[in-house]
Structure 1
Amino acid sequence: MKNTRPIVLFLPMAIFILAAVASLIDVQGFLAFAKSLNNWILDNFGTLIYLAVFGFVLTCFAVLFSPIGKVKIGGHDAEPILTRWQWFSITLCTTIAIGILFWAMAEPIYHLYQPGGRDILPGSPGASQFSLVSLFMHWSLSPYAIYTVAGLAFALSFHNFGKPFSVSGPLSILFGRDLPKLVSSLLDAAILLALVLGMAGSLGAGMLLLSGGVANLTPLSSGPFLLALVAGAIGIVVLISSISGLLKGIRFLSGINTVFFFAFVAFIFIFGPTQKILLQGGGAFLDYTASFIPRSLFIGEAASDKEWARDWTIFYYANWLAWAPVTAMFLGRIAVGYTVRAFVLVNLFLPALFSIIWMSVFGVFAMETDMANEGILKQALDITGPESVTFVALEALPFSQLVIPLLLLLSFVSYVTAADSNTTAISDICQKLESGEKSAILSRNLKIIWIGLLAFMAWVMVAFSGIDGVRMLSNVGGLPALFIVIGLQLALLRMAFSSKILRSLQNKILK
Structure 2
Amino acid sequence: MEAEVREKTVKLSLRKGVFFPPWLLLVAMVAVSLTNGDAFMAGLNTVTNWILGNFAWAFNLTTVGCVITVIVVYFSPLGKVRFGGSKARPMMKFLDLVWITLCTTIAAGILFWACAEPLYHMNAPAVAEGVEAGTASSALFAMKTMFLEWTWSPYAIYTVATLIFAFVFYNMNQPYSMGSALVPVFGEKVKRYNVIVDVICLFALVAGMAASLGTGTMTIAGGVEKVFGIESGPASWGIIIAVIVTTFIISSISGIMKGIRVLSSINAKVYMVLLLFLFVFGPTAFMLNFSVESWGAYIQDFFKMSLMTGDIFQDGWAKSWPIFYWCNWLAWTPITAVFLGKILRGYTIKDAIKCNFVIPAVFSTIWMGLFATASIYYEMNGAGLYDTLLDKGTESVVYAVFDQLPLAVIVIPFYLFIVFISFVTASDSNTNAMAGLCTNGITQDEQESPAWLKIVWGISIALMTWLLISFAGIDGIKAASNLGGFPNMFLILIMIAGLWKISRNPQKYDVHKEDYDSKGRPIETPRLPIEKE
- Kindly state the Cα deviation for residue 215 of structure 1 after the two structures are TM-superposed: 0.7
Does the aligned pair in 2 maintain the 1:295–1:302 contact within 8 Å? no
Q: Which residue of 1 aligns with 2:286?
A: 276
Contact 1:198 1:322 in 2 (8 A): yes
Deviation at 1:180, TM superposition (A): 4.4
Aligned positions of 1:3-42 closer than 5 A: 3-42=13-52
Return the alpha-carbon distance in structure 2 between the equivalents of residues 499 and 360 of structure 1.
38
Contact (CA 8 Å) 1:201, 1:458: kept in 2 or not?
yes
Q: 1:381 to 1:165 in 2, by over 3 A?
A: same
Distance 2:471 2:499 in 1: 43
Q: Which amino acid aligns with 1:331?
A: L
* Residues 365 and 172 of structure 1: CA distance in aligned 2, closer, same or farther (over 3 Å): same
2:190 maps to what in 1? 179
Aligned counterparts of 1:391 and 1:503: Cα–Cα separation in 2: 51
Pick aligned residue for 1:337 from 316, 322, 346: 346
State the one-letter code of the partner of 1:427: A
How many angstroms apart in 2 are the aligned matches of 1:6 and 1:343? 32
Identity, % of aligned positions: 37
Aligned position for 2:477: 470
1:346 paired to 2:360: no
What is the DSSP-based 3-state SS (H/G/I as helix, E as strand, rest coil) of the residue aligned with 2:190?
A: coil
Match of 2:391 in 1: 383
Task: Say whether the 8 Å CA contact 2:171–2:510 is kept in structure 1.
Answer: no
- Shift in Å, 1:178: 3.9
Give the distance between the partners of 1:76 and 1:282, measured in 2 at CA. 41
Indicate whether 1:454 and 2:466 are aligned.
no
User: Which secondary structure state, in structure 2, belongs to the residue aligned with residue 247 of structure 1?
Assistant: helix
- In 1, Cα distance between equivalents of 2:35 and 2:221: 25
Q: What's the C-alpha RMSD, in Å, of the aligned pairs?
A: 1.7
Q: Is 1:324 matched with 2:333?
A: yes
Residue 166 (structure 2) pairs with residue 158 (structure 1):
no
User: What is the letter of the counterpart of residue 158 of structure 1?
Assistant: F
| 2:528 alignment counterpart | none
Instruction: Classify the secondary structure of the residue corresponding to 2:441.
Output: coil
Unaligned runs of 5+ in 1: none
Q: Is 1:133 aligned to residue 144 of structure 2?
A: yes
1:213 correspondence with 2:223: yes
Stretch of structure 1 that moved more, 321-330 or 161-170 = 161-170
Matched letter for residue 95 of structure 1: T
Q: Aligned equivalents of 2:27 and 2:439: distance in 1?
A: 20
The letter of the residue matching 1:510 is: E
Q: 1:96 aligns with which of 85, 91, 106?
A: 106
Select 1:190's aligned residue among 186, 200, 222.
Answer: 200
On the 8 A contact 2:165/2:341 being kept in 1, the answer is yes
> What is the alpha-carbon distance in structure 1 between the residues aligned to residue 485 and residue 466 of structure 2?
23
- Equivalences for residues 37-56 of structure 1 within 5 A: 37-56=47-66
Per-residue deviation at 1:436? Answer: 3.4
Give the distance between the partners of 2:497 and 2:393, measured in 1 at CA: 41
The alignment's TM-score, normalised by the length of structure 1, stands at 0.96
**Contact 1:201/1:470 (CA < 8 Å) preserved in 2?**
yes
Q: How does 1:298-313 map to 2 (within 5 A)?
A: 298=308, 306-313=315-322
Counterpart pick for 1:488 among 464, 489, 495? 495
Report if the CA contact (8 A) 1:433-1:440 is conserved. Answer: no
Please state how far the C-alpha of 1:437 moved relative to its aligned partner.
Answer: 3.3
Of 290-299 and 404-413, deviating more is 290-299
Q: CA deviation at 1:441?
A: 4.7
Deviations along 1:269-306, one digit per CA (max 9) or x if unpaired, are 1111111111110001101111112222338x997564
**Count of matched residue positions in the alignment of Structure 1 and Structure 2:** 507
Correspondence for 1:436: 444
1:110-137 Cα distance to aligned partner (Å, 9 max, x none): 1111111352111111111100110011
**Counterparts of 1:317 and 1:19 in 2: how far apart (Å)?**
23
C-alpha distance in 1 between matches for 2:440 and 2:314: 48
TM-score w.r.t. the length of structure 2 is 0.92
Q: CA deviation at 1:438?
A: 2.2
Distance 1:7 1:289, change over 3 A: same
Partner of 2:418: 410
Is the 8 Å Cα contact of residues 56 and 323 (structure 2) preserved in structure 1? yes
8 A contact 1:159–1:435 mirrored in 2: no
1: CA distance between counterparts of 2:345 and 2:449?
A: 21
For the 8 Å contact 1:94–1:418, the answer to whether it is kept is yes
Inter-partner Cα distance in structure 2 for 1:81 and 1:305 = 51
Residue 424 to residue 76, structure 1, CA distance change in 2 (3 Å): same
Matches of 1:464 and 1:380 in 2, distance apart? 25
Please state how far the C-alpha of 1:371 moved relative to its aligned partner. Answer: 2.0
Amino acid corresponding to residue 357 of structure 1 in structure 2: I
Amino acid at match of 2:414: L
What amino acid sits opposite 2:500 in the alignment? L
> Which 5+ residue runs of structure 2 have no aligned equivalent?
1-9, 516-522, 526-533
Cα offset, 1:505, TM superposition: 5.1
Local SS of the residue matching 1:162: coil
> How many Å apart are 1:373 and its aligned residue?
2.2
User: Could you tell me whether the CA contact under 8 Å between 1:431 and 1:440 is conserved in 2?
Assistant: no
1:391-428 CA distance string (max 9 Å, x none): 11111110000000000000000010000100000010
CA contact (8 A) 2:122 2:142 kept: yes
1: CA distance, partners of 2:204 / 2:168: 22
